[in-house]
A = this chain, B = another copy of it.
Amino acid sequence: MFRQRRSKKIGMSPGTLLYVGDRVDGKIRITVMDYTEEGVIEKSLTDIADCRPCRDSPSVTWINISGVHDVSLIEGLGRQFDLHALMLEDVLNTEQRPKLDDYDDCLFLVLKMVTPDASRGTVDYEQVSIILGHNYVISLQEVETDVFNPVRERIRKGKGRIRKQGADYLTYALVDMVVDHYFSALEIFGEHIEDLQAEVVAALDPQMPQIIQQLKKEVLFLRKSVWPMREAVNALTRSESPLLQEETALYLRDVHDHSVQVIDTIETYRDMLSSTLDIYLSSVSNRMNEVMKVLTIIATIFIPMTFIAGIYGMNFKYMPELEWTWSYPVLWIVLIVVFILMVVWFKRRKWL
């Protein structure tokens, strides 16, 4: 799901808008929330041009767009808000690396949101772009999700300080949502890994290495999206953009701490997965050792005894032992003594 598909853009003029991604059939939804400390106006738009009045109002305006495959919509958005072509290009390229770009009059943040898919045991990645301008925030998602609903709820109910603060606090709230979602992905991975470790000890499933490696790959991809996100959030924290108030920096530092915690946990999981494979391999090794010992004990005891039996199965005319009366019982005694000596020897070597 992180396949490189950028190649289709090779040779394009930068600023040429082209959607890179595979969610081309989703419905596009534009919602606008316009709020001050006193109240909230919420509406759903069909034409992007309708959001123009909000932009110029003194209230904080949050435009959320779900579905970014409609190039003309994004172009329209760019025109309405005087956004740089490169920014629009990055919005459309859903394989962008998380980053923060500072375009003097606005801050542009690209993040990856994860949605753990518990049934398949994997994680879905979705690109979230956030544009913070003077008094407005535009958030763009690949598909419609409920990830920002808690923020909407808080705005509607005027819970917490969100309505009292500006657009930068809203940005923080959105970023916080995205980062927080990583924890649920980590929980799923954590449970998977603990299950795997329990299974490895319980039984020797030859599929185990592949399952472990699959999980490792997932964790690798997760890591690939978190590292740059941490950098982006850090850049936001240290940003000296006038769009960010000092008060908000405190909250952003908190988000940064969380993203560092996500990375810590991912690194611990990587180590634990490697350990799990090591346990599996040493179990296979132990098992083979066990199998070899059984084979060796059986073969070492019976091969010499079979040889002795073979000797007296020979048809030579002149074999004096064959004629003796006590040969057969004596032979049995010899065999039993050999057997006992062997067993004692194995016990000594701790093979039994």
Contact = CB atoms under 8 A, between A and B. Distances in A.
Contact of A309 (B99, B149, B313, B321): B313
Contacts of A41: none
Given A10-B150, A220-B271, A298 B299 contact: yes
Contacts of A9: 180
A305 interface: yes
A30 interface: no
Number of copies: 5
Contacts of A279: 209-210, 213
A312 B316 CA distance: 7
Contact of A307 (B276, B283, B309): B309
Contacts of A186: 4
Interface in A107-134: none
A328 B319 CA distance: 6
Interface string A6-50: 110111111110000000000000000000000000000000000
A52 interface: no
Contacts of A350: 203
Given A7-B187, A201-B210, A295 B300 contact: yes
Nearest to A262: B4
Given A14-B176, A285-B288, 11 more contacts: A4-B187, A11-B151, A13-B162, A14-B251, A206-B290, A284-B289, A287-B289, A288-B289, A302-B307, A303-B303, A310-B313
